[in-house]
Structure 1
């Protein structure tokens, strides 16, 4: 009888710990989602005022990547491109599958969308380097169809992330974490 109680308590502690770690990572990814969406929206909004703007990828200290926008040689945009996180998911998913089928299902769905968000990030980087890399698609990221696609993908990512966060924390995913 004591063994059953110990195992049940251990399972609860593990699930609580997994939910806490996933929630933390989701808060980091909410920041990434917000920043990526802001970058995409800003590029879109700047087209009216800066129709000839050029956007480039700049690598800075410690490998951090930045977007820089220039119009007639003047800097009109500069911000870091956020990193998308999935280390806890990768480490915990098999253990979660053993302990909680519902949490496993929500984590799988959420992190599929997180991977799509990472794909948006890579698409942004590739689009910023299109001219430099002589890519076959439009060298102006605003004319490639990327911006509308990215907004849709980022909104879908939030929906799935929010579902998992609600399971982990019992509330909506509204507060982000920077680190």
Structure 2
């Protein structure tokens, strides 16, 4: 049966004090957790923005390589140094480098790890992180394809003309979609459009 008003009034003051104290403790704990989550989210956003800038550098490099493939009728090669660093280049018929640059690696691990962490504190941001993660995974595929098509083993060169209707056109189209996904996450983290890149 419902507790009557006289019964509630007759409860000892200590009971009321305990109830009030419990409510105050719960409120303070809630505020503490909310503050901690806000601080975590601020850190996550800074780190994610940094990773977006690093992967944007790869997007710009792959765009340059793909657009070069549409212009040059000579094969391109991927060169790997002893340190593991890789570079790409288009060479003229005399073997002279005509156009090229470094080929940075995909920055995947941090975004992959934070995709789970962010989900605990901000569901809307977590969805943008998931989309960006999908794009970064596709960037990895595009980079691997670029390396496969331009390996420096004998017979491994494929002319730009052979790839123009395939890989280069496909890459340019895909890169635009991946940029948009990263830019959406970057905007959510910084309030700005993704326009600058980081080399490391």
* TM-score (normalizing by structure 1): 0.88
Provide Cα deviations, 1:30-54, integer angstroms capped at 9, x if missing partner. Answer: 11111110111122222xxxx3x22
* 1:159 maps to 2:180: yes
Displaced runs of 4+ in structure 1, greater than 6 A?
none
Q: How does 1:66-85 map to 2 (within 5 A)?
A: 66-72=87-93, 73-85=95-107
**1:94 Cα offset (Å):** 1.4
Q: How does 1:20-99 map to 2 (within 5 A)?
A: 20-46=46-72, 51=73, 53-72=74-93, 73-99=95-121
Aligned pairs, how many? 171
> 111, 114, 117: which one pairs with 2:139?
117
Deviation at 1:88, TM superposition (A): 1.4
| Aligned counterparts of 1:91 and 1:166: Cα–Cα separation in 2 | 20
Task: Please state how far the C-alpha of 1:132 moved relative to its aligned partner.
Answer: 3.8
Give per-residue Cα distances to partners, 1:67-125, cap 9 Å, x unaligned: 12222222212311121111211222211111111111110011101111121111111
User: Is this contact kept in 1: 2:65–2:100, CA < 8 A?
Assistant: no
Structure 1: segments with no counterpart, 5+ residues: none
SS in 1 for 2:46: helix
Counterpart in 1 of 2:12?
A: none
CA distance in 1, matches of 2:162, 2:117: 44
From 12, 31, 39, the equivalent of 1:5 is 31
Greater Rg over alpha carbons, structure: 2
**Consecutive unaligned residues in structure 2, runs of 5 or more:** 1-26
TM-score (norm 2): 0.79
